[in-house]
Amino acid sequence: MQPNKKYVSFYYETVKEFPEIKINPKKTALLLVDLQNEFVSRDYGEAITFKEAGEWERWIPFHDRLDGIVIPNNKKLLKFFRKNKMTVSYGRIACLREDGEDRSPVQKSEGWNGMLIPVNSYGAQMVEELAPLDNEIVVNKTTDSVTTGTNYLTLLQFMGIETVVVTGIVTDQCVASTVRGLADAGFKVICVEDACAAGSIEHHEAELKIMSCIYCDVLSTDETIKLIEMNM
């Protein structure tokens, strides 16, 4: 399986042939990033803030993509991984203290990245359609990357995981930071392009193009499932 030319950047546009993607399904994990009520709901959390600020209209395409593409494809991947008894994991923004003092400076800052989501709050929970089952790993983070300030990398190492299939939001921030962290730690990474979203489709596609071939392989949901099936 070769990279989608749509996501081949300047650095690789002269490469004529790429190595085939090879993975071991038994050593592959799925990671869903930040698909939480706070960010996905149209009637809670950030959506309310946008509506109150008069900015809701420009966020509708983002929510349309979540509802029509991203959530269904994450459900499809979850069903496939669970059916084949493969590792499923989640990363979510959630502080352990109600006052948020354990948050990183970025999440304490003013602006879009500033957020207070206590771990037991409704906003911190993954959306119902993608809720974790018993025995699936949920990692709480107060940074963008699931790999920073958490034990996620250690857990993967202990479980013998070599490849991580990453989905979630937003592509150009928490997803991208996580992909880079995994890649720098020596893991093979697949970023599922139609199971992710950014505030705008331009940001989404630009980030995928930047990361492709360097930090991860960018595949669709169907391509990811096909690749795993081919290696079973």
What pLDDT, on the 0 to 100 scale, is given for residue 109?
A: 85
For the stretch 114-173, pLDDT in tens is: 789 999 999 999 999 999 999 999 999 999 999 999 999 999 999 999 999 999 999 999
**Sheet containing 137-141: order of strands:** 137-141, 87-93, 28-33, 163-169, 188-197, 217-219
What pLDDT, on the 0 to 100 scale, is given for residue 112?
A: 67
How far, in whole angstroms, is CA 150 from its chain's centroid? 16
Mean pLDDT per 10-residue run, the chain (232 residues)? 85 90 96 98 95 96 98 98 98 94 86 84 97 97 95 98 98 97 98 98 97 96 97 93
- Reading the block at residue 136, the tokens are 């699936």
What whole-number distance in Å separates Cα of residue 46 and Cα of residue 59?
A: 10
Q: 115 in helix, strand or coil?
A: coil
All domains of the chain, ordered by start, with CATH? Answer: 5-12+20-230 (3.40.50.850)
